[in-house]
Structure formats: structure tokens, C-alpha cells
Amino acid sequence: MQADLIIVGAGMVGSTLALALQHSGLTVKLIDAGPLESQAFAVADPFEPRVSALSAASQRILERVGAWSGIVDRRASPYSDMHVWDGSGTGQIHFSAASVHAEVLGHIVENRVVQDALLDALKTNDAIELMPGARLEQLHQNEAGWTLTLADGQQLSTGLLIAADGANSAVRRLAGCETREWDYLHHAIVTSVRCTEPHQQTAWQRFTDDGPLAFLPLRREADDHWCSIVWSVTEDEAQRLMALDDDAFRQTLGRAFEYRLGEVLEADPRLCIPLRQRHAKRYVQPGLALIGDAAHTIHPLAGQGVNLGLLDAAVLAEVLLAASARGVQLGDPRVLGRFERRRMPHNLAMMAAMEGFERLFQADPLPLRWLRNAGLKGVQVLPEAKAMFVRQALGLSGDLPDLARL
């Protein structure tokens, strides 16, 4: 079976790329080992523990590929403000969308909500062939491109293969793409909690001695007392926190958060996720491109991971559509090189910034503690600097693809 383009991985990033190419006239196959079935959803359902902080740029991309309405019809929690403070000092900073004349900084959305909205959009589109239950077993490169062998023995051929199959990408491994990676020696505990006080449509983040603790606003049936938490701690501390019963965990969490939203009244089941930084040395080779977590994973400090992936998808779609219009082969290294040149510097800069923040806020030496407090206080009183950070959070700076522009 031949296709102009095969995308492996129908997660948020791979599905977005497929939808961005829906009017291209190209034959696009989207394959995934999973069933690719959206789940029944009710607004009273418990929150999915894994969430994303979707930027304004990501919202525009999802609107233009036809998935945003499916997201807001399910559940999305806008936030207009962000408050960050150093738990070991007096430095703090407050960001507001109003400072750049925007209504919101972004939306906190459960990953399954985004995924299901994308699947619904895909299933109403005849231009994209979905192949559920298709697990990649072997990969072979030839002069015409790539041949994929699936677990059921079926073979697929394409001139351009896209790896969108996540941090442990089978395509990346089978194609021999090298990465740079290291452990943060931290784990993220994620869950949803209900607090005494409403979240005020604010994303809250406290830097503790163990790592950052974020309370991200959620909304369910007009109830603004729910938050998604992401708590980065050492491995030993993660084991201790996961072993606590619910009452003890809620009390420990409330103390760590300095009771900014009052008592933690309820806590859903917890997940514990090891944190690892990973970046592919190259995003492309002839007939192959890596996007999203297959190309880069980032510390969840600012919730930027999915936003970087959606920008990857939008830029790659733009590059491929331009090549197709000129009659150039999609897998041509010169075509794919344009994608890499546009995305790699931006992703590396964001990863370096998050790495720097993570190291600075876990530093024990007194001069560094003084520096980070002075930095927070300094930015707080500089409107221009704060506006720059807000525009970064909105995803409206840098080399934006057309799908993310106004």
C-alpha cells in the first residue's frame, strides 16, 4: 500500500498534522497501535490527570484544523493570570493577559479532551486514512522512501515518513536517529484537587526546595475550585508522597502550596511520571521527519511541551504544502531542512530556558537564592519585561506558521 505521506502516531501532534494536510490532495495515512476510538464524555466526569496548557497560538492551530469546537464543547478552562513565587524567599511575579490587551493567556485542557476532539474531526474527513491497531515492527529505507512492516505482516510504502509516536518513538529507534538525553532525577506527581477557595482563573506556581509545584485552574459544571497539580520532586520524595493516604497527601500538598487557595478538600488518584530531557540531534533525514515528543521532550515547568509539538506540526504542514504546490518531492532533504531550520532553534531555546529555570530554582547556594529573588522582583516592576514573558506564554513570538497567526 503506497501513500504520499505516512504519519506514525495519532496523538495530539500527529493528528493535528494530518488535519492540517486534509485539503492538500496528498494521500495521507495516519497509523497508530491504539484503537483510535474517542471516549464517551460527560461534563460531570472526573478530570483526566494529564493536562496541557494550550497557548493562544495552539488554540488558533486547533481552530483552523477543525478541532477547537470539539474541545470547548467538552471541557476547557481558560486562565487569564499567572502568579509565580519563590517558596524559599520573597520574590514573586504576576502576569496578566490584560497587560497585552488579551482576554486569556491560554486554556488548561485534559489531554484526552484534545485527543478525542481531534479524532472526531479526523473521522469526519475522507481525505485521511486512519489505521488503528497498526503497530510498527520493522522499517526499511530504499531509493523511493520507506517501507513499513506492521505487526500483522502488512507492508506500507511512502516517500515521506513522519514520526509522531511520542517520547519512546519506535520510528526514531528503528531509523537510527540519535538523541541527547538525561534524567532530571525528578518525578512529576500529577492529579486533580478541589480547594476551599476558587482558583480565580489563575495558574499558580510555587518553587519549593524539591522542585516547582503548579496549581492549574480547572472548571467543571461552573465549579472553579478544582485545579490540576503538577509537583516536581526528587525520586525519594515522590515515593514518599505516593505512599501517603489521601488525607495525609492533601495536608502535605496544602502546606507545600502555602494554602494559597485554602485547604485541599479532595484529591483524585495520583500518577507519578519520571522526568527526562530528550532532544534528537537531527529532526530530519531523507524522507523522514520527527515532530513533537519524538523530536524533543521538555521539563513540564511551563507546560510548553504540547505547544512546541503543535507548532512543529503547523510548520511542517506549511513547508510540505509549499513543496507540493511547486511539484517538489516531499521527502527531499532541502524541503525537510526548511522545517528543521525553523523549528530546532525555537525548541532548543525553550528547552534551555526551562533547564535554566529548573536549575536556578533548585540551587542551594545563598548567592543564587538572592539572584533568583532579585530577578523575580526586578521583572515584577518592569512592565516591558513582563509583557515579553506574557507574549511568550501566548506563543505569539518568533517564527509563527500561518496556522497560528491572526
pLDDT at 32: 98
pLDDT at 87 over 80: no
Does 266 or 277 have the greater pLDDT score?
A: 266
On whether the CB atoms of residues 293 and 313 are closer than 8 A, the answer is no
Task: Give mean pLDDT, residues 124-136.
Answer: 94
pLDDT at 236: 95
Does 277 or 360 have the greater pLDDT score?
A: 277
pLDDT at 366: 44
pLDDT at 382 over 80: no
pLDDT at 191 over 70: yes
pLDDT at 302: 59
Q: What does pLDDT average to over the chain?
A: 89
Q: Is the pTM of this model over 0.75?
A: yes
Domains, the chain, with CATH or none: 2-37+48-75+107-181+277-366+384-404 (3.50.50.60)
Any long-range contacts for 391-395 (C-beta under 8 Å, 24+ apart)?
A: 391/100, 393/55, 393/82, 393/95, 393/105, 393/106, 393/302, 394/55, 394/56, 394/57, 394/97, 394/100, 394/102, 394/105, 394/106, 395/55, 395/56, 395/57, 395/58, 395/307, 395/311
CA dihedral 330, 402, 396, 121 (to 10 degrees): -80
- pLDDT confidence bin for 100, thresholds 50/70/90: confident
